[in-house]
Structure 1
Amino acid sequence: MSTYVVTGAASGIGLVTAEILSGRGHRVLGVDLRGSDIDADLATGAGRTAMVEQITARTDGRIDAIVACAGLSSPTTDTVRVNYYGAVATLGGLRPLLAGSPAPRAVAVVSMASIFPPDERLLALLLDGADEESAVARAAELAADERAPQIYGTTKRALSLWLRSRAPEPAWAGAGIPLNAVAPGIIETPMTTDLIATEEAKTALLKTVPMPLNGIAKPEVVGNLIAWLTSAENTHLCGQVVFVDGGSDAVLRGASTW
């Protein structure tokens, strides 16, 4: 039995992933704002610190896998705080707890929206190590006008690029920890309820996010992939962003790859 930490475990992909892992006999500690094993607000520094402290205490300082799934899709500043800073703090803060595992591994959940044009200024602030409040201030500017939808995709692109650069480093690959990400397309979760509420809405959304292979997916599709990526069978995937999007990436980017 392995011990997993899954953030965003109260609903959507995080909840289903936690259920899949538990069903396979693993111990799962879920983290969410409320309604999970550990309540923590990953939009705040205090919440991130409290999460690490509570997990450390409840596991005697040893876990086997991290699934950084918590995220927001709203065009708000909290999306920057949770999707990027919360995810990075989760992966970085819990990484030392993987040291005692015979098969440590970690996965982040990004999005196919990471391939859409980002706000370059926000992206640079996130990746260049600017203080969090500077990035949040830029997000507030975007949220005030028609550029608001760029916030989500920009945070997911930033997390993808952060992960790509960190995965081969001594702290991750050098310590035997496969660090990878999944990039879902449109998934039937509470986050997408309004977007796919009618056939007309689905048709319009699929024009932006084409999914020629089997269309809109259930969260189990992503959860099963995460379960494999965080299994002991995954020994050599390093810094990969695996698009589980029914073909959106292939349609929109063609021959382009990371």
Structure 2
Amino acid sequence: MGTYAVTGSASGMGAASAALLTEAGHTVIGVDLRDADVIADLGTAEGRASAVEEILGACGGTLDGVAAVAGVGASMKDAATVVSVNHFGPVALLEGLRLALARSEAGRAVVISSNSASTVPLVDDALVELCLKGDEESARRHAREAQAAMPAEVTAFAPSISAYASSKLALAHWVRRTAVTPEWGREGVLLNAIAPGAVVTPLMLSSTGEDLDPDSFHTPMPLGTFGKPEDIAFWVHQFLRPEARFTTGSILYVDGGTDAAMRPDAQPSAMTL
């Protein structure tokens, strides 16, 4: 059995992932703002450093997998916080734990992106680029400035929708770029992402409210139903399994077909010369 760290373990998809791994007989180190083995705020540099230190202490320096699930939604009033938690949090955590993963015979990492990265037409390319450059201070400042310039009817519905979609897109791009570097790939540490759609969690309900109807939802729901945290936890578990030895740099949509319905010909895209 292995030892895994799961962020966002106190609720939603993180709690479901931690529960599934525990049921499978693994040791789980939960990380969250409350009700967790490691209490840390991944939206701050200090919180990330503390989380890495405590996880390394708990696992003895060798870690079999990390599920970076923690995140905040588009209903968050401060767009800068969204950027810090959703992008810089998982990136710093995984970079800090990479060597511990490399010491395992089958180090695995999976992060939670979102289908909003490809289905919300409010991605801020400049913000994505700042995230990928690792410039958190500038990214936070830009996110707040862009939020202030957003039409009031948009921010009234989802105050940080652009920062949310942009941070999740940046995270997916980071996974693709990072997974194939020698420091990860040749060390046997596999890195993938899951892009959930409309999954009923406290985070989603804070953005949409309790009155949910798949037939009148703001994005297509081809299956006619919303996802459950357990639907994401299943794939988290699969990506973390030692047997998942030939998959890295992948972005798996677990969204009931929403992205396929909205962008049926977008993937795969042909390489051009």
Misfit runs of 4+, over 2 Å: 142-148
Structure 2 match to 1:8: 8
Q: Is contact 1:106-1:177 (8 Å) kept?
A: yes
Structure 2 match to 1:137: 141
CA distance in 1, matches of 2:225, 2:173: 27
Q: Does 1:82 align with 2:93?
A: no
Structure 2 match to 1:149: 161
Q: Does 1:236 align with 2:254?
A: no
Aligned pair partner of 1:121 in 126, 131, 148: 126
TM-score using structure 2 length? 0.89
SS of 2:186's equivalent in the other structure is helix
Q: Is contact 1:6-1:69 (8 Å) kept?
A: yes
Q: Is contact 1:75-1:152 (8 Å) kept?
A: no
Q: Is contact 1:123-1:158 (8 Å) kept?
A: yes
Call closer, same or farther: CA 1:254–1:75 in 2, change over 3 Å: farther
CA distance in 2, matches of 1:173, 1:155: 24
Q: Is contact 2:4-2:27 (8 Å) kept?
A: yes
Per-residue CA deviation, residues 116-137 of structure 1 (Å, 9 max, x unaligned), is 33111211211233x2111000
Cα shift at 1:197: 1.2
Cα shift at 1:34: 1.4
Q: Is contact 2:64-2:106 (8 Å) kept?
A: yes
Q: Is contact 2:215-2:221 (8 Å) kept?
A: no
Q: Does 1:161 align with 2:166?
A: no
Root mean square deviation, CA, Å: 1.5
SS of 2:63's equivalent in the other structure is coil
Unpaired segments of 5 or more residues in structure 1?
none
Structure 2 match to 1:179: 191
Unpaired segments of 5 or more residues in structure 2?
155-159, 269-273
**Count of aligned residue pairs for this structure pair:** 254
SS of 1:94's equivalent in the other structure is helix
Q: Does 1:95 align with 2:98?
A: yes
CA distance in 2, matches of 1:167, 1:26: 24
Cα shift at 1:213: 2.2
Q: Is contact 1:112-1:183 (8 Å) kept?
A: yes
SS of 1:193's equivalent in the other structure is helix
SS of 2:82's equivalent in the other structure is helix
Q: Is contact 2:215-2:224 (8 Å) kept?
A: no
What percentage of aligned pairs have identical amino acids? Answer: 40
Per-residue CA deviation, residues 204-256 of structure 1 (Å, 9 max, x unaligned), is 4x2x3222125201110000111011001101111000000000111111111
